[in-house]
Every structure is written in structure tokens, then in C-alpha cells.
Amino acid sequence: MLSIDQSRAFLYEIGIEGQFVHTHGHSDDSVSLLLDSGETFTGDLRAEFLLDDASSLESKSWHELRKLGAQRVYPSHGQFYELT
């Protein structure tokens, strides 16, 4: 089993520069893939929580992704979008 803390080293070994990030909210075990280039694959992290107050788990996840450098989002459902 791969832990979040091990994700950067694992991904680097297979030629990917980035990390997995816990993105709690939709479910307790949700993760997103954040590449060093800013592309972010969010799975089921819901976009409507981008503008929500900071008290919800999903809003906190969005805040963390932005803090870590997320710029372009590729959700599992819907269209690609840029974070501003």
C-alpha cells in the first residue's frame, strides 16, 4: 500500500513529477493527483466547493490544492477549468 507521504518518490520512479494529496470531503479516502506543472486530477472533489466557506472539508481540500500550486483542474466529471 502506498502512503501519501511516499507518493512523490513513487511517481518520480515512473517519470511523473507530482504528488497525491488527500482531498477529503466527498469521501474520507479521496485523493487528487497534483503535478508540479499545476495540472490537477481531482476525481470526485466537487467544484461547487471552490467558492464555499472555508469550514467544509471540500473547501479545505481546495484551499490546500491551491496552496500547493494547483492551476488547471481535470475533474472526473465535467470540463477542464483554470483556477484563478
Local confidence pLDDT in tens for the 84 residues of the chain: 889 999 999 999 999 999 999 998 767 788 999 999 999 999 888 777 776 666 788 888 888 999 999 999 998 878 888 987
Count of structural domains within the chain: 1
pTM of the predicted structure, to 2 decimals:
0.88
| Domain assignment of residue 17, yes or no | no
Which whole-number Å values give the CA distances from 14 to 11, 19, 40, 57, in the listed order? 5, 12, 18, 31
The confidence score (pLDDT) of residue 34 equals 97
The confidence score (pLDDT) of residue 26 equals 67
The confidence score (pLDDT) of residue 52 equals 62
Which whole-number Å values give the CA distances from 83 to 4, 9, 22, 67, in the listed order? 23, 26, 18, 12
Range of the domain at 38: 22-82
| Domain assignment of residue 37, yes or no | yes
| Domain assignment of residue 1, yes or no | no
The confidence score (pLDDT) of residue 67 equals 94
